[in-house]
Amino acid sequence: MELNYNSLSSISSLLQNPFEDPSLQTSLNRTTYYRSFDSIENLKIKAHLVKIADINHRNIFRNIRDVSNNVTDGLPYKEVTIDETNKENDNNLNKSFSSLKLEKSKSKSNISMATSPLPSAYEVVIGWQEKIFSPTEVFKYADVGTYPTTIERKHHIQLENILSDSKSIEAQLIRKNKIESSRNIIKKRQLFTYVDADNHIDQDMLYPLIENMTNEEPVTKLAKRKLTIRDKKRHTSTNYEDEADRLIFPGVHNEQPGFYSSFREMHIMGYFERGEKDKEEKMYEILARKKASLRKKRENKLDKDDNNEEDEETQDLLMSLEDNNILTNVEEAEVNYVEKRLCTIRAYENGWISMTPAYNQKYRFTIGDYDVYEFSLENCSSQLTSQEEHKEWDLFETVDKKRLEIRNYIVGKDFQEIPEMLGFRLMIFGEIVSARKFDESSIYIQYSLELPKYWKTNDTHSPKQMLFGNTQFTDFIYDPPTDDYEARFAFPFEFDLLSAHYDPYIKWPVLYFHVCTKDKWCRNVTLGYGFYNIPWMPGHYDETINTWRAYPSISERMGQYFVGKTLTLEDITYINFPKGFNKKYLNKYGFQTETSGSIRIRLNIAHQIGSFHLINPNKNDNGFLKNNNLKEILDALLRARKRVDFLRQQQQNKKDN
Amino acid sequence: MAEVHIIGQLTGASGFPSANLSCKWSIVAGEEWTLLEGSIKGHTQVDLPVDARFSVWSHPIDVHYSTKSIKGWPKIQFQIFHQDRFGRNELYGYGFIHVPTTPGMHELECMTWKPLSSNSNKLWEFFLGASSQLRDTDVIHNGADRFRLVTATMGKVHLELGIILRNFSNYGISMS
């Protein structure tokens, strides 16, 4: 006797992991993200749906083998019966079959089981935003009433186009005009789609994490509405007020950009027959709803006028509701069939595509009590050939080149030149950052720049430069990382200076700082002096400058205390080399100072050298030294001078005569 | 013309009297500068840090400029706002920084200050949580009128900037 390894396992374990096949999943809610540079319109998905078990065929194991169709070696499969307690495993027969079929199958081999009455696999290729109508929708959109909405009208026109082909499933359905009698036709339309315009919001996509009882609404109406708005930022109702809502963006406070950016979506849906029990429940539900609405109408009418003539009609209608022939086709469909979301595809603006669930995997789910389906997706969008890819890359390259050309055109080639030829330009972008350790509560800083010999400001390009300035008057704050108090200025200064040429051996500009405070009576008090030599290398500098101030004698201190006298240097350059200093050594002995706080400055220094014409061969309009034959120029000058002299002499002679 | 890339991020802020800060920033450059790519303005999220000493923004900056001149080198100016529990935004500081001229990565801290107002205005501020602001934000990156102000020192803004330069050496400019 042959026994399969899973002959004893229960149905649940079979469902979960029949062949330990990792590609088999049961959750349809797992989202996978893809990214594509291609237009989403090129997406094509092949959906594959097959019924693998129903009330008559509960043997999942066999059916899986049948479906996969890979085993063709003709070996008799072991049949596993599930609900039969007395297993007669020795014969290769399926006990779950009806007795009639059992007799037949006894005489046949197991391979004939493959041609069992389970419906064959259903396969359809779906393009992006391709609308396939479900039987319910066929009835719904075939007659849309007098005032259809935009979507209804659109679908109606589309449906009429399809109906013009009399062989189509839709046309057949309409011809039968009854859900019950057209069961065989419906079997051919097991998959349909909701496109973006349908605004379909599926419940199991909305709150997949909320557990609920089967006979209970998963969330309250309010919560549902809230979730719906958040998910799509538009809702499905067709009331007039809600239509207005759709035009006006809801005032969401924290709009999340990026991930929640607008997307377009489509749903691939399954259309399945309900179990008998479900059908009954649904029927009662719909009848109850109908009754309630009728009763409401009746009450309204009673309120308005006491005409009881029409009232009788409605009562008749209510009576006829008791036997259930009153259902319309759409309601009939709702009772007998259930729609199940099988796949949701979303295309985001940034090129993301999300699929819930992913393709190339098998998913299994149960409808009703016995019907088990297997569903899989396949990406059958046309793939790029290597030739096409090559072409595309070429196109990208040309586009890129063009873009660069345009960029180069915008950027151009001209650049601001230095006024004096062969000059040197020094740009300083600086900042007084902060000050520390000054024993006053608030301070301000004066800065000034000394321009030594051979330096001048660049007035042509940056006029009105401030070589002297004051910062704001600011207080100190405790800075925890350094455990100290700090006054912060963030005060900018910019200098644009010129010199004959780059020479580190001449004297470079010097920055002087004078730290002051204002006392209660708004008198300025000097707190410190400091200086900084502008470095002769370009770069980024972050420097701390220590300061000192003159040490006052006792009488000066008294003056400071009573009348606000303060010791100020007459010439601020005394801090550095005093102005006009040209002796052998600098003597500051005899001058008493005390240490004061420190200033932090930040400098960015850039150099521009004017002789770049000579360095850069690309430049054609070389204004300087165009005819660089100096001798020629000198000769011409001499000739001109001679001629002037000659003319003068002539004039003199004339006067003398 | 030469080109400059400024790529980096606003890391965060520290040293402010309370957390829950956001930062409005913009880049100011001279007339000769042309913006090729990127956005020169932005506003970070409001960060409510667990550790109140440092608010994290990690806000990206990515700008591409071309220029005819080294004059008017770009500066970044900041306006720091504090959001209180009623959702009111109060000015907490102004700051500015020169974009470094040296190519490479720079870790910078920018100091901020806020203008102090008269005593009656202070009363107003205390009850309504609206501090006085500059009429003209040019004062933030321009030193000319600064001496008229009395300010209070505020915290620091931390930045990381990477600078990429192109073609400057062709025009005789040396940066490092």
pLDDT tens track for B140-176:
888 888 888 889 999 999 999 999 998 888 888 888 7
Q: Which of A67-76, A118-127, B5-14 has the lowest mean pLDDT?
A: A67-76
- Asked if A540 and B106 come within 8 Å (Cβ–Cβ), the reply is yes
Q: How confident is the model at residue A262 (pLDDT cuts 50, 70, 90)?
A: low
Compute the distance between CA of residue A454 and CA of residue A507 in angstroms, rounded to an integer: 9
Q: How confident is the model at residue B49 (pLDDT cuts 50, 70, 90)?
A: very high
For the cut 50, the answer to whether the pLDDT of residue A342 exceeds it is yes
For the cut 60, the answer to whether the pLDDT of residue A615 exceeds it is no
Strand blocks (E) in A36-166: 44-53, 122-127
Phi, psi (degrees; rounded to nearest 5) at B110: -110, 130
What is residue A414's predicted lDDT score, i.e. its pLDDT?
81
* Chain A environment of B6 (Cβ under 8 Å): none
Are the CB atoms for A196 and A266 separated by under 8 Å? yes
Most confident residue range from A70-84, A103-117, A271-285, A622-636: A271-285
pLDDT in tens, A95-137: 333 333 433 434 343 444 444 567 778 888 998 888 898 888 8
Compute the distance between CA of residue A397 and CA of residue A523 in angstroms, rounded to an integer: 69
B42 Cβ neighbours under 8 A, 6+ residues apart? B24, B25, B26, B59, B61
- The encoded tokens of residue A568 equal 């100020």
What is residue A314's predicted lDDT score, i.e. its pLDDT?
61
Are the CB atoms for A454 and A506 separated by under 8 Å? yes
For residue B123, the cross-strand partners are: none
Mean pLDDT of A565-589: 85
Amino acid sitting at position A170: E
- Asked if B172 and A411 come within 8 Å (Cβ–Cβ), the reply is no
Mean pLDDT of A495-512: 88
* Chain B environment of A434 (Cβ under 8 Å): 111
Q: Which of A472-476, A625-629, B22-26 has the lowest mean pLDDT?
A: A625-629
List helix spans (H) across A233-382: 240-247, 276-304, 309-322, 329-336
Mean pLDDT of A42-67: 72
Q: Between these two residues, A312 and B32, which has the higher pLDDT value? A: B32
* Chain A environment of B143 (Cβ under 8 Å): 466, 469, 471, 491-493
A598 Cβ neighbours under 8 A, 6+ residues apart? A435, A436, A437, A530, A544, A545, A546, A547
What is residue A137's predicted lDDT score, i.e. its pLDDT?
86
Residue among B34, B70, B152 minimizing CB distance to A474: B152
Distance of CA A410 to the CA centre of its chain: 30
Compute the distance between CA of residue A462 and CA of residue A498 in angstroms, rounded to an integer: 11
Task: Give the CA diameter of chain B.
Answer: 58
**Min CA distance, B155 vs chain A (Å)?**
8
Q: Which of A143-147, A189-193, A253-257, B29-33 has the lowest mean pLDDT?
A: A253-257
Compute the distance between CA of residue A116 and CA of residue A105 in angstroms, rounded to an integer: 10
Q: Which residue has the tokens 């001499």?
A: A638
Mean pLDDT of A302-321: 60
What is residue B35's predicted lDDT score, i.e. its pLDDT?
92
**Min CA distance, A349 vs chain B (Å)?**
20
Residue among A410, A470, A611 minimizing CB distance to B34: A410
What is residue A313's predicted lDDT score, i.e. its pLDDT?
59
Residue among B94, B98, B152 minimizing CB distance to A604: B98
Start-to-end CA distance of chain A, whole Å, equals 154
What is residue A26's predicted lDDT score, i.e. its pLDDT?
63
Q: Which of A191-200, A484-493, B73-82 has the lowest mean pLDDT?
A: A191-200
Q: Between these two residues, B137 and A302, which has the higher pLDDT value? A: B137
Mean pLDDT of B46-50: 91
Compute the distance between CA of residue A304 and CA of residue A298 in angstroms, rounded to an integer: 10
Share of residues in chain A with pLDDT > 70 (%): 70
pLDDT in tens, A202-242: 766 665 545 544 555 556 667 666 656 544 444 343 444 44
A552 Cβ neighbours under 8 A, 6+ residues apart? A560, A567
Which helix (H) or strand (E) covers residue A374, if one does? strand A371-379
Are the CB atoms for A51 and A118 separated by under 8 Å? yes
The chain-wide mean pLDDT, for chain A, equals: 74
Compute the distance between CA of residue A166 and CA of residue B176 in angstroms, rounded to an integer: 81
Mean pLDDT of A284-302: 78
* Chain B environment of A492 (Cβ under 8 Å): 75, 96, 98, 141-143
What is residue A486's predicted lDDT score, i.e. its pLDDT?
93
What is residue A560's predicted lDDT score, i.e. its pLDDT?
84
Q: Which residue has the tokens 């089967």?
A: A214
Amino acid sitting at position A72: T
Domains with residue ranges and CATH for chain B: 2-171 (2.60.40.150)
For the cut 70, the answer to whether the pLDDT of residue A273 exceeds it is yes
List helix spans (H) across A220-274: 221-232, 240-247
Mean pLDDT of A397-412: 88
Residue among A412, A476, A615 minimizing CB distance to B1: A412
Q: Which of A81-85, A413-417, A637-641 has the lowest mean pLDDT?
A: A81-85
The sign of the torsion formed by the CA atoms of A616, A621, A622, A624 equals negative
Residue of B5, B1, B2 whose CA lies nearest to B103: B5
* Chain B environment of A412 (Cβ under 8 Å): 1, 68
Q: Which residue of A has its CA nearest to B105?
A: A540
What is residue A23's predicted lDDT score, i.e. its pLDDT?
53
- Asked if B69 and A429 come within 8 Å (Cβ–Cβ), the reply is no
Residue among A407, A430, A490 minimizing CB distance to B111: A490
Mean pLDDT of A386-407: 90
Question: How open is the CA angle A373-A378-A384, to the nearest 5 degrees?
Answer: 175
Compute the distance between CA of residue A32 and CA of residue A130 in angstroms, rounded to an integer: 21
Question: How open is the CA angle A379-A399-B170, to the nearest 5 degrees?
Answer: 135
- Asked if B110 and A490 come within 8 Å (Cβ–Cβ), the reply is yes
- Asked if A444 and B147 come within 8 Å (Cβ–Cβ), the reply is yes
- Asked if B102 and A496 come within 8 Å (Cβ–Cβ), the reply is no
Residue A139, classified by CB atoms within 10 Å of its CB into exposed (0-12), middle (13-18) or buried (19+), is buried
- Asked if A475 and B95 come within 8 Å (Cβ–Cβ), the reply is no
- Asked if B150 and A479 come within 8 Å (Cβ–Cβ), the reply is no
Compute the distance between CA of residue A264 and CA of residue A129 in angstroms, rounded to an integer: 9
Q: Between these two residues, A154 and A369, which has the higher pLDDT value? A: A154
Phi, psi (degrees; rounded to nearest 5) at A278: -60, -40
Question: How open is the CA angle A365-A366-A368, to the nearest 5 degrees?
Answer: 155
Residue among A470, A486, A604 minimizing CB distance to B100: A604
What is residue B100's predicted lDDT score, i.e. its pLDDT?
94
